[in-house]
């Protein structure tokens, strides 16, 4: 097999394994988050916390893989999967409006849970947590809520 065929085969394989944002279904987009955080290395107490210029976007590709794209005041969109996270979809309602997933960053020990639910009045929101061990950036445990589309 010539070099051109090897390169073409490799690029074909690469294209088959990488999904683009255009292929992904957006399950939910959520705005600013507010909640409580327990900062381990600061004063070791619960504090009000906000991510006022943040957002969360949940996607699902054609193969059923879920992902979280998040941004805050300090960074543009960060792709959890591209950042090394593994995601596990625990629940997805038939209408795809309600779902729950767990995101784990094995390299850093950070774990997150996201529960997108629709309330009785139709308000869609995400209740989410993050747990960061000592040795990570801002070791903490936090619980947040944000309104979704």
The pLDDT confidence band at residue 136, using thresholds 50, 70 and 90, is confident
Whether the per-residue pLDDT at 21 is higher than 90: the answer is: no
pLDDT in tens, 93-119: 999 999 999 999 999 999 999 999 999
pLDDT at site 76: 84
pLDDT at site 22: 60
* Nearest Cα to Cα of residue 132 among 124, 140, 123: 140
Per-residue burial over 78-103, b = 16 or more CB atoms within 10 Å of its CB, e = otherwise? eebbeeebebeeeebeeeeebbbbbb
pLDDT at site 78: 93
**Stated pTM of the model:** 0.83
Is the sign of the CA dihedral 13, 86, 55, 96 positive or negative? positive
pLDDT in tens, 48-79: 999 999 999 999 999 999 999 999 888 889 99
What is the pLDDT averaged over residues 4-10?
A: 33
């Amino acid at each position: 097999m010539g070099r051109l065929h090897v390169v073409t085969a490799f690029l074909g394989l690469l294209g088959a394994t990488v999904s683009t944002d255009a292929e992904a279904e957006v399950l939910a987009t959520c705005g600013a988050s507010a909640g409580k955080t327990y900062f381990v290395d600061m004063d070791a107490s619960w504090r009000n916390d906000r991510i006022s210029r943040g957002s969360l976007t949940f996607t699902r590709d054609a193969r059923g893989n879920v992902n979280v794209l998040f941004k805050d005041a300090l960074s543009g969109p960060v792709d959890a999967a591209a950042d090394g996270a593994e995601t596990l979809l625990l629940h997805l309602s038939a209408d795809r409006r309600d779902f729950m997933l767990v995101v784990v960053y094995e390299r850093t020990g950070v774990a997150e849970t996201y529960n997108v639910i629709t309330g009785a009045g139709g308000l869609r929101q995400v209740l989410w947590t993050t747990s960061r061990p000592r040795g990570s950036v801002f070791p903490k445990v936090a619980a947040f809520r944000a309104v979704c589309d």
